[in-house]
Amino acid sequence: MTKSAAKKPTPPDLYLFLQMANIFAINRCSSSVYQRFIVQFNSTQRFNSLSSHVSKSRFIKLNNLRRNCSLSSDAAAPFIVADDEKYGNKQVISITPRLYDYILANAREPPILRQLREETANMRGSQMQVSPDQAQLLAMLVQILGAARCIELGVYTGYSSLAIALALPESGCLVACERDAKSLEVAKRYYELAGVSHKVSVKHGLAADVLKSMISNGETCSYDFAFVDAEKRMNQEYFELLLQLVRVGGVIVIDNVLWHGKVADPLVNDVKTVSIRNFNRNLMADDRVSISLVPIGDGMTICRKR
pLDDT digits (tens, 9 = 90+) for 27-53: 444 444 444 444 444 444 454 555 555
Number of Cβ within 10 Å of residue 41's Cβ equals 20
- Domains in the chain: how many in total? 1
The pLDDT of residue 92 is 82
Task: Say whether pLDDT at 239 is over 90.
Answer: yes
Reported confidence tier of residue 112, pLDDT bands at 50, 70, 90: very high
Give the range of the structural domain holding residue 194, as residue numbers without chain letter: 97-305
Within-domain flag for 182: yes
The mean per-residue pLDDT over the stretch 92-113 comes to 93
% of the chain with per-residue pLDDT over 90: 68
Within-domain flag for 137: yes
The pLDDT of residue 71 is 38
Q: Worst-scoring range by mean pLDDT, 35-44, 87-96, 139-148, 277-286?
A: 35-44
CATH code of the domain containing 205: 3.40.50.150
The pLDDT of residue 29 is 45
Residues 24 and 91: beta-carbon distance below 8 Å? no
Within-domain flag for 107: yes
Residues 241 and 219: beta-carbon distance below 8 Å? no
Within-domain flag for 42: no
The pLDDT of residue 81 is 74
Query: Rounded distance, CA 50 to CA 149, Å?
Result: 58
Q: Worst-scoring range by mean pLDDT, 16-20, 105-109, 224-228?
A: 16-20
Reported confidence tier of residue 82, pLDDT bands at 50, 70, 90: confident
Within-domain flag for 238: yes
Within-domain flag for 217: yes
Residue of 25 and 247 predicted with greater confidence: 247
What does residue 186 show for φ and ψ, rounded to 5 degrees?
Answer: -65, -45
- CA proximity to 134, closest of 168, 111, 157, 100: 100
Within-domain flag for 267: yes
Task: Say whether pLDDT at 273 is over 70.
Answer: yes
Within-domain flag for 12: no
Residues 31 and 70: beta-carbon distance below 8 Å? yes
Looking at every residue in the chain, the average pLDDT score rounds to: 84
The pLDDT of residue 265 is 96
Amino acid code (one letter) for 144: I
Q: Worst-scoring range by mean pLDDT, 36-45, 58-67, 97-106?
A: 36-45
Reported confidence tier of residue 250, pLDDT bands at 50, 70, 90: very high
